Amino acid sequence: MRDKLLTIENLKTHFFSDDGIVPAVDGVNITIKKGETVGIVGESGCGKSVTSLSVMRLLKDTPGRVVGGSIQFKGKDLLSLSDREMRNIRGNEIAMIFQEPMTSLNPVLTIGRQIKEAVGLHLGLEGKKAHEHVIEMLKLVGIPRAEEIVNEYPHQLSGGMRQRVMIAMAMSCKPKLLIADEPTTALDVTIQAQILELMKKLSAEEETAIMLITHDLGVVAEMCDRVVVMYAGKVVEEADIYELFENPKHPYTKGLLQSIPKLREKKNRLGSIPGTVPNPLERPPGCKFAPRCSEVFDLCREVEPELLPVGADHQCRCLLYQRDLVKEA
């Protein structure tokens, strides 16, 4: 058994606006072990990215605020740390690859200077040693002409190259946990495959755990050990990667899997999930997926199901598997 590295318990992150309170993350529980890759999947607006930003404590200048729960990293409660203590962990022990590298990289600083800031702050490297370390990291992520790229600016690089720079920056201090938020979005499939292979290689070599946030189940199948499926701010299913693909339980997970193209299928029509994610200010009572569910029954619209075991290392939030609760009602 690998040691627990990150434990998120009953995390609640709300956004406060003039229109009301938005429960973007509503009681989420996630555990990541050392060296493990866990995929967080779901449609846009389900709370995946807000969960990661809560872990990194990067909601300070937004209307969002963690209002409940705990985030334990190597036994430390990240929510109770001072800003200075959190800065020592952020970028050092926990690093993040953001969704769009062009907006994450500083356009007026060279690639080398941006990576040197991280290694100088956390590793204490300066001058020639820092420069050599930056070049070594750029070569590690497969960037050609690293000695020249180190002096170039983000706008001079392609999207794939910028994403590699982001990975080099994130891995430069050899973090224990890497949070990757849609790391291959907007990249062509060839570059996407290279980036994923690179992340797998770095994870294996450095025993880095990865929280991979994506909506692409193909990427999940390629990368992950376990999968957490989120919907409307809650975890609706969690299982081992093979178990989830072979034996999905929640109707939402089944819908996501049916929307994946299959080369051997005679029919070319893809499955789809009707409707849209509910307005976070007007979420329905009972099961939040009920208005879109093909297996809905009356009680689903009244009772909020719990996330309960449905097998070995498999949990699901659905009344279809909570017959005792249905009978009692």
231: its two tokens = 């919907």
Query: Which amino acid does the sequence have at 101?
Result: P
> pLDDT tier at 309 (50, 70, 90 boundaries)?
very high
Residue listed under structure tokens 């819908």: 255
Sheet holding 209-214, edge to edge: 94-97, 177-181, 209-214, 37-41, 226-231, 234-240, 314-316, 308-311
Per-domain residue ranges for the chain?
4-93+173-328, 106-172
171: its two tokens = 């891995």
Sequence-separated (6 or more) residues with CB below 8 Å from residue 127: none
- What is the average pLDDT across 307-316? 92
116: its two tokens = 């040197």
Say which range, 20-24, 112-116, 238-242, 255-259, has the weakest mean pLDDT: 255-259
Beta-bridged to residue 315, according to DSSP, are 238, 309
pLDDT tens digits, one per residue of 45-61? 899 999 999 999 999 88
Task: Measure Cα distances from 80 to 85, 88, 222 in Å.
Answer: 10, 14, 35
Q: Report pLDDT for 186.
A: 65
pLDDT tens digits, one per residue of 5-61? 999 999 999 999 888 999 999 999 999 999 999 999 998 889 999 999 999 999 988
Q: Report pLDDT for 324.
A: 63
Q: Report pLDDT for 325.
A: 58
Do the Cβ atoms of 243 and 315 come closer than 8 Å?
A: no
Count of CB atoms within 10 A of residue 180's CB?
Answer: 28
- What is the average pLDDT across 244-271? 81
Neighbour-count burial of 300, counting CB atoms closer than 10 A to its CB (0-12 exposed, 13-18 middle, 19+ buried) = buried
Whether the pTM exceeds 0.85: the reply is yes
pLDDT at residue 149 above 60? yes
Query: Which amino acid does the sequence have at 119?
Result: V
Q: Report pLDDT for 102.
A: 67
Residue listed under structure tokens 């999940």: 220
pLDDT tens digits, one per residue of 180-213? 998 877 677 877 788 888 888 878 888 899 999 9
Q: Report pLDDT for 326.
A: 57
CATH of domain 4-93+173-328: 3.40.50.300
Say which range, 24-28, 62-66, 170-174, 298-302, has the weakest mean pLDDT: 170-174
Q: Report pLDDT for 264.
A: 64
Q: Report pLDDT for 247.
A: 94
Q: Report pLDDT for 2.
A: 60
> pLDDT tier at 1 (50, 70, 90 boundaries)?
very low
- Give the DSSP letter string of 100-118: -HHHHS-TTS-HHHHHHHH
- What is the average pLDDT across 78-101? 89
